[in-house]
Structure 1
């Protein structure tokens, strides 16, 4: 099987997964009547705005109601509310796919808008600043230390990192966040308690950027402390298991330099599973850290998902579920491409 055919089949599989997720989500929405509520709310909002604009020009109440009813019927037909929900499945799936879900019922952007796509994209930047940065830091430090520890098994660093990994994995992230707030925000007053920036925010763009970084220190530190141990231990285990394989021992027996053995025989074989952890970790980070963003009042996608569930804003929950699935599917396809490059055996 050639490279192009292999990648095409993998892409087709992942696209099928994405379509099935969207179809299942739309099926549930239609069967439970949630989609009808969402579309009806969109119709009612447009009718209300139309009433406000026409009230200034049409003074006759009966004529006003007649015009509004005609427009309302047109909107009902446009959104498919005159048809059963199962007939509207393709149109509903397309709306989810293109994020054309109208306006959120309760949640808004910082500027006061309530368009779903605007709300999501606004919070995405904040999540990248916080969660993705923490993931990158944890991954880099974890990979460097994990590889180093794997070549010095049984040393002090190995024992310390093993204990630290177990402890950091067991402690809840929100508890670490609260401790950091108590120590560095309440007692030492070195960092703010939470939020994205100070109130009022600095007017100068450069100072505002520094203010955001200052507010991000504690939540980023929380996520790094909670996850770096897992990165270290996972990398150590992968590299150590690879280093104990027969082909590595055979390379050493042939008298090859240790650096060459490590680079060509150990790290090249260990690269695919390590890459899997890195890319899936970055993809998962887009969904945000719900508890950490809530503890620090950080307006990212995790906090948005929490707020949307809390106030029952269905359209925002749907949009976020779709985006999280889409990012995961794209990450998996990227992994497939990298696997083919790193290990040509997967092509056949």
Structure 2
């Protein structure tokens, strides 16, 4: 079977998985009535506040208040689409999502995560939160991966040495420490005790907005000035995430390489007296490239979903916070948009891996 047919077949399967994921999400939020219940609660709260405001007006009788309240409630029901069955609201929304028309944000709390006010497009809200997650979590993950790939091969031939024992102990400790817990400790030490980090991190919204405007205007001075301000916000979250994730990454990479070290062709290369660097590069790292690439690409793709609790600790308005607010407030357009974007990123990462697998390992073509 040709390589082109293999790649095309796998691309079709991944595309079907993407479509199914979006339709299942729409079915869950529609058929279960979750979004409807949340929206009904919001309508009831708005109606209560409206009735209370009318009751405080002078010379207004109760029957007139009831009439205005009923009219206002019916208007809200039509506005939120509750006058139609869920399938008539969700199916068009799912279709629009698949063609990147995410619709409008319905809840104020969701728009406020991005620093917007209603009316706001779900796509604009997602695009506003995505860079914040990238500069904090994706960059931290990338730094962690680079450090792990530099450290793990160096201890592959030193099993049982002091460096190897330190790496194993460090991995065990950091694997047991939640990122959000370490974030609390780091904020307490560096922000409140030492005063070398901000106490409020939400200012990153303005900094990224200024950087974007300066970049579009070609203002290099303003751009690099804003970049310096950005570093003052991101260094502590990045350091926290790197400290927590580096241990597990070193340990998992070490485990992948150790499986290669025990292979017969590696033992034969060592027996022939080849230099350790040559054995490591040609006989260990190259065969281990496929599982390492899988971990790297899928790990980086997964960071775009954000860390809900860690973002809450740092008050960092990223994708995790946005997803949480969208689910908590029952905003279907944002939920489907986020699900689609994150699943699409995962599918693209998987497709890249499939292409690399076919190119690097002839056995995959069979």
**Same fold by TM-score, threshold 0.5 exceeded?**
yes
Task: Judge conservation of contact 2:153–2:280 (CA < 8 Å) in 1.
Answer: no
SS of 1:269's equivalent in the other structure is coil
Change (3 A) 1:90 1:184: closer
1:163 aligned residue: 169
Task: Judge conservation of contact 1:223–1:292 (CA < 8 Å) in 2.
Answer: no
Shift, 1:22, TM fit: 1.4
Q: 1:220 aligns with which of 238, 248, 257?
A: 238
Task: Judge conservation of contact 2:140–2:241 (CA < 8 Å) in 1.
Answer: yes
1:117 aligned residue: 123
Shift, 1:35, TM fit: 7.2
Q: 1:291 aligns with which of 269, 292, 309?
A: 309
1:103 aligned residue: 105
1:191 aligns with 2:223: no
Change (3 A) 1:224 1:25: same
The 2-side partners of 1:119 and 1:281 are apart by 24
2:148 aligned residue: 142
Q: 2:321 aligns with which of 285, 303, 306?
A: 303
Task: Judge conservation of contact 1:104–1:115 (CA < 8 Å) in 2.
Answer: no
Task: Judge conservation of contact 1:196–1:212 (CA < 8 Å) in 2.
Answer: no
Change (3 A) 1:2 1:89: farther
Task: Judge conservation of contact 2:31–2:86 (CA < 8 Å) in 1.
Answer: yes
1:92 aligned residue: 93
TM-score (norm 1): 0.81
The 2-side partners of 1:313 and 1:296 are apart by 24
2:2 aligned residue: 2
Q: Which moved more, 1:25-34 or 1:134-143?
A: 25-34
Q: Number of residue pairs matched?
A: 314
Change (3 A) 1:13 1:199: closer
Shift, 1:87, TM fit: 6.5
Shift, 1:261, TM fit: 2.3
1:65 aligned residue: none
The runs of 5 or more residues in structure 2 that have no matched partner are 43-74, 211-221
The 1-side partners of 2:324 and 2:194 are apart by 30
1:262 aligns with 2:280: yes
For 1:1-348, list aligned pairs within 5 A: 1-33=1-33, 85-86=86-87, 91-97=92-98, 98-106=100-108, 107-108=110-111, 109-113=114-118, 114-197=120-203, 204-348=222-366
Shift, 1:238, TM fit: 0.6
The runs of 5 or more residues in structure 1 that have no matched partner are 42-71
Shift, 1:326, TM fit: 1.4
Shift, 1:299, TM fit: 1.4
Change (3 A) 1:80 1:229: same
Shift, 1:310, TM fit: 3.5
Task: Judge conservation of contact 1:96–1:322 (CA < 8 Å) in 2.
Answer: yes
Change (3 A) 1:344 1:312: same
The 2-side partners of 1:157 and 1:309 are apart by 45
Task: Judge conservation of contact 2:304–2:342 (CA < 8 Å) in 1.
Answer: yes
Q: Note the alpha carbon deviations across 1:155-184, whole angstroms, 9 max, x for none.
A: 111111111100001011111001111111
TM-score (norm 2): 0.77
RMSD, matched Cα: 2.9
Shift, 1:227, TM fit: 0.5
SS of 2:287's equivalent in the other structure is helix
Q: Which moved more, 1:27-36 or 1:155-164?
A: 27-36
The 1-side partners of 2:117 and 2:30 are apart by 29
Change (3 A) 1:292 1:152: same
